[in-house]
């Protein structure tokens, strides 16, 4: 994907009308993202953004030494972290809580639902272990309590949504102990996390306490697969599909690698994603859903009736994105919801110069291309 100066100016001039984020990716990083291409490459992207992070990361005090006293040094000075707090019956039903030491109570709560295999600490290569602590830190720096949720595979079609409901219910009942406000919670999903979050928002009647968040961010994923399914499939063509993860930085790293493997509840095989295609078919080589099953799993009716504020976001270098435009199926979903009125119309933006992984790895760095519009939107959600 080659850009001329004229193209850059044209894209900038269209930023307001097409919903492009208007901050800039640092030029040296943008050049490397272009080299990586329109693919999902956690390993090489982590190597680009790791130098912009604090020296400490998850591995600084991990694994703990049972024979040594707990370190007196904070992992990130000024922030208290509660790791692997249980919220449900499964051993993987855990979350991390980030709270700034200074400040009062009743802080907004930002809940992050990761993509990939669902790990709240990325594990493609050693450098990945700095993520997604960056999102927890960023939340605290902006007056919020940050939450990282671990996902894991389920056996039923709605297990992903149910797990999120358990996490949100636990937070609603307990977050005040961590200076958070249970009635000001916003949830943010990336990539494969969009399926479970789409189920959660779209099926309030299936959860014990309904949906208990004020806003939901769906980033680089489709929460309602029944809308624009044909357009989604047609848009998967990618001129850079020949690129493979790890090639740009010379490492053997693909979506199934675990070079930075972490043991315990924060780690699992990177390829064990779940929640993809929620509401649609059962996947390649499997029987298609019956009309009754499709109707039962469809998230759209729940999205239409929900009062939750919605944001859709993609990266310019996401697979399938062309001309810095929102994928057709997401645009169709946006338009369908907007028919219900301005209050129901989702916010949308495309992050210029960002990739599928950089849009979340860039959080809490000087690349504010994604964090600035996300923060502005979060502050408006009441």
pLDDT of 366: 95
Distance, CA of 12 to CA of 29 (rounded, Å): 19
Token reading at 12 = 């900038």
Q: Which residues pair with 98 in a beta bridge?
A: 81, 146
Map residue 302 onto helix, strand or coil: helix
- Name the token pair of 139: 């939340």
Q: How far apart are CA 102 and CA 172, in angstroms?
A: 22
Q: CATH assignment of 23-61+75-380? A: 3.40.50.1820
Interatomic CA distance for residues 339 and 346, integer angstroms: 11
Residue 1's pLDDT is 42
Nearest one of 51, 153, 136, 49 to 99, comparing CA atoms = 136
Query: What are the structure tokens assigned to 156, written together?
Result: 């039923």
The confidence score (pLDDT) of residue 67 equals 59
Q: Taking each helix axis as running N to C, give the angle between helix 27-36 and helix 42-49, from 0 to 180 degrees, rounded to the nearest 10.
A: 170
| pLDDT value for 11 | 34
User: What Rg value do the Cα atoms of the chain yield, rounded?
Assistant: 20
Tens place of pLDDT for every residue, the chain, 382 residues? Answer: 444 333 333 333 333 334 655 568 999 999 999 999 999 999 999 999 999 999 999 888 766 665 555 555 689 999 999 999 999 999 999 999 999 999 999 999 999 999 998 999 998 888 999 999 999 999 999 999 999 999 999 999 999 999 999 999 999 999 999 999 999 999 999 999 999 999 999 999 999 999 999 999 999 999 999 998 655 544 444 545 457 888 899 887 666 666 777 777 776 654 444 333 333 333 444 458 899 999 999 999 999 999 999 999 999 999 999 999 999 999 999 999 999 999 999 999 999 999 999 999 999 999 999 999 999 999 999 8
Contact 55/260 with Cβ under 8 angstroms?
Answer: no
Q: How far apart are CA 283 and CA 78, in angstroms?
A: 46
- d(CA 288, CA 241) in angstroms, rounded, equals 27
Give the pLDDT confidence score for residue 286 in this predicted structure. Answer: 46
| Whole-prediction pTM | 0.88
Q: Which two tokens stand for residue 109?
A: 């709560």
Tokens of residue 190, six digits: 């990336």
Residue 147 burial class via C-beta count within 10 angstroms: exposed 0-12, middle 13-18, buried 19 and up? buried
φ, ψ of residue 96 to 5 degrees: the values are: -110, 145
Look at residue 18 in the predicted model and tell me its pLDDT.
Answer: 42
Please check whether residue 259 is in contact with residue 123, taking contact to mean a CB–CB distance below 8 angstroms: yes
Q: Report DSSP letters for 252-263, one per residue.
A: ---TT--TT---
Question: Nearest Cα to 162, choosing from 196, 111, 119?
Answer: 196
């Amino acid at each position: 994907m080659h850009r001329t100066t004229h193209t850059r100016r044209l894209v900038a001039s269209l930023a307001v009308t097409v919903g492009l984020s208007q901050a800039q990716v640092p030029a040296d990083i943008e050049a490397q993202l272009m080299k990586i291409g329109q693919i999902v490459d956690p390993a090489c992207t982590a190597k680009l953004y790791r130098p912009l992070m604090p020296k400490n990361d998850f591995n600084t005090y991990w694994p703990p030494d049972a024979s040594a006293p707990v370190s007196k040094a904070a992992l990130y000075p000024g922030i208290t972290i509660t790791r692997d707090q249980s919220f449900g019956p499964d051993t993987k039903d855990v979350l991390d809580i980030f709270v700034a030491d200074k400040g009062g109570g009743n802080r907004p709560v930002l809940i992050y639902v990761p993509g990939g295999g669902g790990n709240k600490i990325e594990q493609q290569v050693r450098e990945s272990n700095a993520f997604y602590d960056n999102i927890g830190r960023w939340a605290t720096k902006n007056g919020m309590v940050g939450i990282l949720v671990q996902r894991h595979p389920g056996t039923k079609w709605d297990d992903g949504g149910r797990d999120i409901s358990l996490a949100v219910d636990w937070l609603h009942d307990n977050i005040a102990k961590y200076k958070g406000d249970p009635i000001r919670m916003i949830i943010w999903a990336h990539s494969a996390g969009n399926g479970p979050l789409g189920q959660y928002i779209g099926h309030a009647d299936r959860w014990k306490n309904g949906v208990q968040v004020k806003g939901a961010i769906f980033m680089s994923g489709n929460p309602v697969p029944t809308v624009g399914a044909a357009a989604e499939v047609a848009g998967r063509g990618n001129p850079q599909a020949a690129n493979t993860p790890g090639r740009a930085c010379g490492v053997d790293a693909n979506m199934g690698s675990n070079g930075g493997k972490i043991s315990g509840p924060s780690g699992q095989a990177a390829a064990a994603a779940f929640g993809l295609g929620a509401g649609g078919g059962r996947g390649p080589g499997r029987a298609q859903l019956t009309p009754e099953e499709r109707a039962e799993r469809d998230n759209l009716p729940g999205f239409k009736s929900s009062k939750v504020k919605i944001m859709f976001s993609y990266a310019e270098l996401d697979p399938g994105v062309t001309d810095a435009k929102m994928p057709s199926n997401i645009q169709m979903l946006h338009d369908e919801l907007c028919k219900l009125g301005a209050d129901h119309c989702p916010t949308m933006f495309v992050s210029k110069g960002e990739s599928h992984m950089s849009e979340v790895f860039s959080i809490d760095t000087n690349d504010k291309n994604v964090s600035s519009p996300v923060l502005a939107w979060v502050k408006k959600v009441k």
